[in-house]
Amino acid sequence: MSVLASAVGAVLAAILESSVLTHLQVGSVRPDLVFAVGIAVAMVLGFESGMTWAFVGGVALDLLLPGRALGSSTLTLLLLTAAALTVARVMWPPRLAIISVTAFVLTFGYQLMLLALLALTAGVALIGISLPDLVIIGLMNAAIAGFSVLVLRALDLRFGEPERLAW
């Protein structure tokens, strides 16, 4: 998949997260669509697609969600996408279970880092989220990342570059 497709996908995911997913909450929590799919994109498609997704998706989230300082989501997504790329590099080729577990574990870092950045920049209170809520968000993000892996691998097989012999 090209870098342009990653950028367009990130913008579409940010639009969905800021509009539709705000109404589809489980209790008081909702999944992080841009984050979860971004982890899957990075671990399946590689560095360029993953970092493009993180940067463009983070900027789009910062622009679309009220109360977010420009760059807070972008910085958080870039750092955690780099962590996911490190896991993918160590566990090459990354399996579906590894990608889902990575999304689950990194959800804690994403939520806490984003909350800390928003507390510093936008004045949001640090008492924002509890451990059971983090676990629920992590499970939702892991499920979204697992489903995204299946879709991304199918799209990559269909539209990705064919493997060639290196002479």
Write out pLDDT tens, residues 86-119. 998 998 888 889 999 999 999 999 988 988 888 8
CATH numbers and ranges of domains, the chain: 3-158 (1.10.1760.20)
Per DSSP, what are the bridge partners of residue 26? 29
Please state whether the predicted TM-score (pTM) of the whole model is above 0.85: yes
Annotate 56-72 with b (16+ C-beta within 10 A) or e (fewer): bbbbbbbeeeeebeeeb
Question: Contact 49/152 with Cβ under 8 angstroms?
Answer: no
Q: The dihedral of CA 61, 4, 148, 50: what is its sign?
A: negative
pLDDT at 128 (0 to 100): 66
- What would the DSSP string read from start to end of 75-96? HHHHHHHHHHHHHHHHTSSPPH
> Rounded to an integer, what distance in angstroms lies between the CA atom of residue 91 and that of residue 99?
10
Q: Give CA–CA dist 57/160, Å, rounded.
A: 21
pLDDT in tens, 40-75: 999 998 889 999 999 999 999 989 888 788 888 899
What's the one-letter identity of residue 21?
Answer: L
Structure token pair of residue 53: 């997704």
